[in-house]
Chains A and B, each alone.
Chain A
């Protein structure tokens, strides 16, 4: 297999591919190099490796690891229930399950507190039923719950896609040979979906370790809180701790690379309708569990936001920001800058994808690490690095404070999400197809455009979709890098909530959720399901 891989590209072609990947890697390495040089220039170089400085990192690692476990179990379970069982209401669940991903964590956590914390909405609803007070959700447990609810789609989406592609014939044979539903799940489904689960879990891990919104509001002393608290008056500490995150990301990528050294997943063939496992007596339980999941992660936030919006509108306490029609501009900006960034991100990571999947090489590994690492860095660090680079480089100063730079920041920050699903997609394209095309004398570009791209399309679209959703809710880099006057919905939500304009924040947040939901449906779900 390896030899046929290598031969699918000429020597010159491989040089070009490596050069392209190296250029991409150079772009993605900017924030790392910035953090590294700031650190080396500080009074205590590598002070961030010292004992005391590692405590917040330890807490963040513990949280991110726990979220990875819970989110991967929930995401995989949900994908299996929806894709392989006779669960009632599968269609509705399919539509709703990915959507919690669109809720920005800084507003999501606030809403969760309003809903579930002591004195919150749920308590006032349950009050008449004899519930005295809700347990306080905060700290590690609170962060774990909220992060899990907002990140399980990272696992659900790729696993559901994988299950759609996997022939169910093996499972059917296993069932015929007498193994139970559970046995079949663990012995057949799980191993085949392994790489998808891993890919999704890695994103969950990186998201959780670099998240600020949730740990801030849940009052958990994670690394990002220290980075935030020290950013102005102890800048070197702040940047050094940001570098810790980057280093962790690179380590995780290295570990992942070792784990996935094993055999590649079997290639796919699209199947006729899969045999659905009858849930029998567990049907009610499974439906209730999924219902609770979607309820907590999606319906509750929407209900709380809806309540604030209606209360504000009926009392006339909206600030007028919405009435003057000034929300239309930000909505439009949010949509197109996100679509643009998603397309650029997919294009930018493709060379790295090819190099890592088809031609394992050091250049590929390094590029892969930098692309993935970009997701783990705080948005603020990515932004400051790009400010530094463009302001101090005369040739680049022209793009400072332009949308080009903003898009570059988004691509660096979220490119990893496009790359993961693209890698899974490409490794599922059988090399035999390419070989056949090659034998028939089709040239390389044509093979790529006519054969591989169409086969990879669902994966590329899904990856682009993740970038799209993340760009739409991104805040720290947007605040610093967007051209003055260019506003997005996330900025509107943040500003309104900062000044306690709950109803304005709620209306803008509902708009963001609706926009994300419809764009994902139009551009991603419809296309990826072909």
Chain B
């Protein structure tokens, strides 16, 4: 009977395939960065160095959970995270090795982490995206803290479940204190803030005019306008050293106990090389973090940005309290 043969095949084929793929020769990368943003670089690295690569793409937080669940048996050698939170979670569990000094020293000082468990690759800036048809420039707030003002009642969108928003709250806690952060969350909730799932849906909602403005990372609207140049959505950067315009790093790290640690480090060096950093700058609209590499022409130079004086090294810490604080405010 055909059916029976199919069933037998169904058991044998994957078993055989499994046997083939279990030879662990390749450098295994768990990447929270999507293929569109890093895939070509992986190929180039593999071609240049002859190191074979296996890559698993996924959500940064999910991959961190996976590494935790896999424990010492994890096949991952390198973890690339889209947000400091997920990598901080693993660093706190001693799952990451300390990177060599030459790697740590190759990035702008603010983006090397003090304990050396991870290094910043690129940065995204927190901005306020707004609909230029509906919001007059003069209405834009001078600080993210002003969004709790009655003027903005019901007009603002945030993404409380999103890692970047949570990183921003962590930064607010670390610079202005827990009380200020808690109060801001409660006030913005009371001010009729609209909650969305992620950066993408906020930019889309703002562009459609469903909501007037929203807190996001700069990257998404630059991409959105690239797809639809007619959209009325614009990025606004809070002036001065406002906490609302901090930089969030995407990070790279090597897993503790990896048997391919050297290749992993070589790979990170490659990602921080001038050519790779220029690739990030030109094709992903992000700020390169290696010293001496300029951002794309469409962006303001990094050092001209008056980003607030906070300790990016500690961003990965304390996210659990941040999430609890957001939940207590009723936003999550």
Listed in ascending order, the chain A residues whose CB lies under 8 Å from chain B are 110, 113-114, 117-120, 136, 216-217, 219, 225, 228-235, 308, 311-312, 315, 317, 319-321, 340, 343-344, 347, 380, 384, 387-388, 391, 397-405, 407, 449, 453, 476, 479-480, 482-485, 487, 491-492, 495-504
What's the least CB distance linking A344 to chain B, in Å? 5
Bound together, the chains give a CA A485 to CA B57 distance in angstroms of 8
CA distance A463 to B55 in the complex (A): 34
In chain B, residues 148-177, which have Cβ atoms closer than 8 Å to a Cβ of chain A? Answer: 160-161
**Interface segment, B183-191, B200-208, B252-260?**
B200-208
Cα A524 to Cα B13 in complex, Å, equals 23
Chain B residues with Cβ below 8 Å from A401 are 21-22, 75
Chain A residues within an 8 Å CB radius of B40: 320
* B100 touches A (CB below 8 Å): no
Given A234-B320, A312-B227, A384-B65; A347-B10 close (CB under 8 Å): yes
Per-position binary interface string of chain B over residues 296-332, scored 1 when its CB falls under 8 Å from any chain A CB and 0 otherwise: 0000000000000000000000011001100100001
Q: Is the CB of A500 within 8 A of B220?
A: yes
Least Cβ–Cβ distance between B83 and chain A, in angstroms: 10
In whole angstroms, what is the CA distance A398 to B1 when docked? Answer: 31
Task: Judge whether B73 and A403 touch: CB under 8 Å.
Answer: no
How does the 8 Å CB contact mask read for B1-23 relative to A, with 1 for contact and 0 for none? 10110110011011101110110
- Chain B residues within 8 Å of A, Cβ to Cβ: 1, 3-4, 6-7, 10-11, 13-15, 17-19, 21-22, 26, 28-29, 34-37, 39-40, 54-59, 61-62, 64-66, 69-71, 73, 75, 85-86, 89, 160-161, 195-197, 200-201, 203-205, 207-210, 219-220, 223-224, 226-228, 319-320, 323-324, 327, 332
State whether A501 touches B36 (Cβ < 8 A). yes
Q: Known A-B contacts: A234-B323, A312-B227. Give 4 more (CB < 8 A).
A: A119-B209, A217-B197, A384-B65, A479-B57
Within 8 Å CB of B21, what residues of A?
A: 401-403, 483
Which residue of A119, A120, A388 contacts B69 across the interface (Cβ within 8 Å)?
A388
- With A and B bound together, what is the CA distance between A388 and B237 in angstroms? 44
Tell me if B54 and A485 are in contact (CB < 8 A). yes
Q: Show 15 residue pairs from A and B whose CB-CB distance is below 8 angstroms, ordered by the A residue.
A: A118-B209, A217-B197, A229-B323, A232-B65, A232-B86, A343-B3, A343-B6, A347-B10, A391-B69, A399-B15, A402-B22, A453-B1, A485-B54, A500-B200, A500-B223
A113: contacting residue among B55, B75, B204, B324, CB under 8 A: B204
Q: Which residue among B59, B200, B219, B320 has the maximum number of chain A CB atoms within 10 Å of its CB?
A: B59
Kindly list chain A residues whose C-beta atoms are within 8 Å of the C-beta of B219: 500
A501 CA to B222 CA in the complex, in Å?
11
From A117, A119, A216, name the one whose CB has the most chain B CB atoms within 10 angstroms. A119
A500 in contact with B208 (CB, 8 Å): no
Q: How far is the CA of A405 from the CA of B19 in the complex (A)?
A: 12
Minimum CB distance partner of A457 in chain B: B3
Contacts of B86 in A (CB 8 A): 232
Q: Which residues of A contact B161 (CB under 8 A)?
A: 225, 228-229
Return B318 CB to nearest CB of chain A, in Å: 10
Q: In the complex, are the beta carbons of B18 and A498 less than 8 A apart?
A: no
CB-CB under 8 A from A491, the residues of chain B are 57
- B197 lies within 8 A of A219 (CB): yes
CA distance A476 to B22 in the complex (A): 22
Contacts of A344 in B (CB 8 A): 7, 10-11
Inter-chain contact B28/A484, CB cutoff 8 Å: yes
Please, which residues of chain A bring their CB within 8 A of the CB of B85?
A: 232
The reply to whether A311 and B227 contact each other, CB–CB distance below 8 Å, is yes
Given contacts A118-B210, A500-B224, contact A407 B14 (CB under 8 A): yes
A403 interface neighbour in B17, B226, B227, Cβ under 8 Å: B17
* A408 → chain B closest CB, angstroms: 9
Cβ contact of A343, chosen from B7, B54, B61, B332, cutoff 8 A? B7
Q: Are B227 and A317 in contact (CB under 8 A)?
A: yes
CA distance A340 to B324 in the complex (A): 43
* A491-B57, A500-B200, A504-B36 known; A403 vs B62 contact (CB < 8 Å): no
Asked if A495 and B35 sit within 8 Å, CB to CB, the answer is yes
Is A114 a contact of B210 with CB atoms below 8 Å?
A: no
Closest B-chain residue to A503, C-beta based? B227
CA A232 – CA B89 in complex, angstroms? 8
| 5 closest cross-chain pairs (CB), A and B | A119-B208, A402-B18, A484-B54, A500-B223, A119-B209
Q: Are B210 and A321 in contact (CB under 8 A)?
A: no
Check A117 against B36 for contact (C-beta < 8 Å).
no
Asked if residues B57 and A495 are in contact (CB atoms below 8 Å), the reply is yes
Contact of B70 with A114 in the complex, beta carbons under 8 Å: no
CA distance A317 to B6 in the complex (A): 43
Q: CB < 8 Å: which of A321, A453, A502 contacts B39?
A: A321
Instruction: State how many angstroms separate the Cβ of B175 from the closest Cβ of chain A.
Output: 21
Task: Flag if A403 contacts B75 (CB, 8 Å).
Answer: no
Chain B residue contacts of A114, Cβ below 8 A: 204, 208
- The answer on a CB contact under 8 Å between A219 and B323 is no
Evaluate contact between B197 and A233: CB separation under 8 angstroms: no
A289 vs B292: C-alpha distance in the bound complex, in angstroms?
Answer: 63
Task: State A479–B160 Cα separation when bound (angstroms).
Answer: 23
In contact, A479 and B34 (Cβ under 8 angstroms): no
Q: How far is the CA of A229 from the CA of B326 in the complex (A)?
A: 11
Nearest A residue to B66 via CB reads A480
Nearest to A342 among chain B residues (CB) is: B10
Q: Which chain A positions have C-beta within 8 A of B327?
A: 229
Determine whether the beta carbon of A499 is less than 8 Å from that of B37.
yes
Q: Contacting B228 at CB < 8 Å: which of A225, A228, A233, A311?
A: A311
Minimum C-beta distance from A12 to chain B (A): 21
Q: Hey, which chain B residues are within 8 Å of A498, CB to CB?
A: 34, 59, 200
Bound-state Cα–Cα, A344 to B10, Å: 6
Is there an interface contact between B7 and A230, defined as CB atoms closer than 8 Å? no
Q: Which residues from chain B contact A495 at a C-beta distance below 8 Å?
A: 34-36, 57
Chain A: CB-nearest residue to B20: A402
Q: Which residues in B have their C-beta under 8 angstroms from that of A399?
A: 15, 18
Minimal beta-carbon separation of B320 from chain A (angstroms) = 4
State in angstroms the CA–CA spacing of A414 and B21 once bound together: 25
A397–B36 Cα distance when bound, in Å, is 32
Q: Which residues of A contact B196 (CB under 8 A)?
A: 219
Q: Which residues of B contact A117 (CB under 8 A)?
A: 205, 208, 210
Residues of A within 8 A of B160 (CB): 229
By beta carbon, the residue of chain B nearest A106 is B197
Complex formed: what's the CA distance from A482 to B63 in Å? 13
Alpha-carbon gap, A260 to B196, bound state (A) = 42
Would you give the shortest CB distance from A516 to chain B, in whole angstroms?
A: 20
- A227 CB to nearest B CB, Å: 11
Q: Which residues of B contact A234 (CB under 8 A)?
A: 320, 323-324
Residue of B nearest to A500 (CB): B223
* Known contacts A315-B227, A495-B34; is-contact A397 B210 (Cβ 8 Å): no
In the assembly, what is the distance between CA of A228 and CA of B227, in Å?
A: 29
Q: Are A398 and B55 in contact (CB under 8 A)?
A: no
Given contacts A484-B56, A495-B35, are A402 and B17 in contact (CB under 8 A)? yes
Say yes or no: A380-B197 contact (C-beta < 8 A), given A404-B18, A496-B36. no
Q: Which residues of A lie under 8 Å from residue B75 when comparing CB positions? A: 401, 484
A391 and B35: CB pair below 8 A? no
Contact B54–A384 (Cβ < 8 Å): no
